[in-house]
Amino acid sequence: MAGRSKRRDLAAMLAPLVRDTIAAERPVLEAHGLSMWGYSVLVALDESPIRTQAALAEAIGADKTRIIATLDELQAQGYIERHPDPADRRARLLAITGPGRAVKDAAQQEIQQGEERLLGELTDTDRRVFLRVLDRLSRRP
């Protein structure tokens, strides 16, 4: 059986799109006083608390060393809580706070509203399929 029809590489199509969406997020996050990594952390902790910083870093695709400054800042802003685990004082129990959830929800609403500029061009079917496939592919191990 022969190959499939000619197409561009996935990375070549994904790269400019991710660049645009991140560029669109930047001013929104800045207006809410959040960094890109800070927002990532809030989104992750909004789903559920996490028991170690290393696990959080892995969950958001970051290095454990480079989220520390982010966590310091989020804690100073009162958006997360960071307590030593009584059962193992090496680990830090991480959780989002009420104000943290509020600022994350506000920023996220604005971000997704902006993304309608893109998604709004699609038919309902295309939109639904695209988001479903994208969600699935992005969750691969």
Partner DNA sequence: TATTGTTATACTCTATAACTATA
Partner DNA sequence: TATAGTTATAGAGTATAACAATA
Residues at the site binding a copy of itself, with contacts judged by CB under 8 A: 7-22, 25, 40, 43, 61, 108, 111-112, 115, 118-119, 121-122, 125-126, 129-138, 140
> What Å distances lie between residue 51 and 28, 34, 56, CA to CA?
29, 23, 8
Q: List the structure tokens of 127.
A: 């939109």
Minimum distance from residue 48 beta carbon to a copy of itself (Å): 15
Residue with tokens 């060393």: 65
Minimum distance from residue 29 beta carbon to a copy of itself (Å): 11
66 binds DNA (CB under 7 A): yes
CA 115 to chain centre: 14
Q: List the structure tokens of 28.
A: 């929104």
90 binds DNA (CB under 7 A): yes
